[in-house]
């Protein structure tokens, strides 16, 4: 099965893509619906391709190091606040940030796609980072 973080990121990316086309009435409900569908698709794929690599048991740990429910809820809340911070960015700044940070395009690719200079992309990313950090700080996610 793919990494859970990949499914979460893919879910949020689909929410952002859909929000760009037309407003979503309930972002939370839509996000959970998207995540559910992605998880089911992953499980279906795993059923079709049931090959699982057997790990080397000599190096496996007995202690489970996955986050608990409370940590997952906190991470989810923090992610929602981060997306609110991104949503609060000015239009061009948000567009650059999404292409660069969420879609993973290079600085050069973002510049080419938006018809702006690489320097402008860099400046917009720095501004977005500062604004998002301030937003997160005011919402108690990042401590000074």
Name the nearest CA neighbour of 8 among 29, 24, 32.
32
Q: Going by C-beta distance under 8 Å and a sequence separation of 6 or more, which residues neighbour residue 89?
A: 97, 128, 131, 132
Q: How far apart are CA 15 and CA 91, in angstroms?
A: 17
Segment 17-55, tens digit of pLDDT: 887 788 888 877 877 788 788 777 777 765 555 555 555
Within 10 angstroms of residue 53's Cβ, the number of other Cβ atoms is 5
Segment 49-89, tens digit of pLDDT: 555 555 555 555 555 555 555 555 556 777 788 888 888 99
CA atoms in the 13 A half-sphere facing the CB of 58 = 0
Q: How far apart are CA 114 and CA 124, in angstroms?
A: 12
Q: Which helix (H) or strand (E) holds 42?
A: helix 27-48
pTM of the model: 0.49
pLDDT grade for 96, boundaries at 50, 70 and 90: very high
**Percent of the chain beyond pLDDT 70?**
73
Assess contact for 47 and 16: CB atoms under 8 A.
Answer: no
Assess contact for 95 and 113: CB atoms under 8 A.
Answer: no
């Amino acid at each position: 099965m793919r990494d859970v973080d990949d499914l979460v990121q893919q879910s949020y990316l689909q929410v952002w893509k859909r929000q760009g086309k037309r407003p979503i009435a309930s972002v939370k409900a839509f996000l959970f619906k998207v995540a559910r569908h992605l998880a089911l698709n992953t499980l279906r794929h795993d059923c079709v391709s049931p090959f699982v690599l057997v790990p080397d048991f000599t190096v496996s740990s007995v202690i489970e190091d996955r986050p608990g429910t409370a940590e997952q809820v906190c991470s989810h809340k923090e992610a929602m606040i981060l997306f609110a911070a991104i949503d609060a960015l000015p239009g061009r700044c948000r567009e650059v940030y999404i292409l660069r940070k969420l879609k993973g395009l290079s600085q050069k690719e973002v510049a080419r796609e938006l018809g702006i200079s690489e320097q402008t992309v860099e400046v917009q990313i720095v501004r977005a980072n500062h604004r998002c950090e301030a937003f997160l700080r005011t919402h108690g996610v990042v401590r000074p």
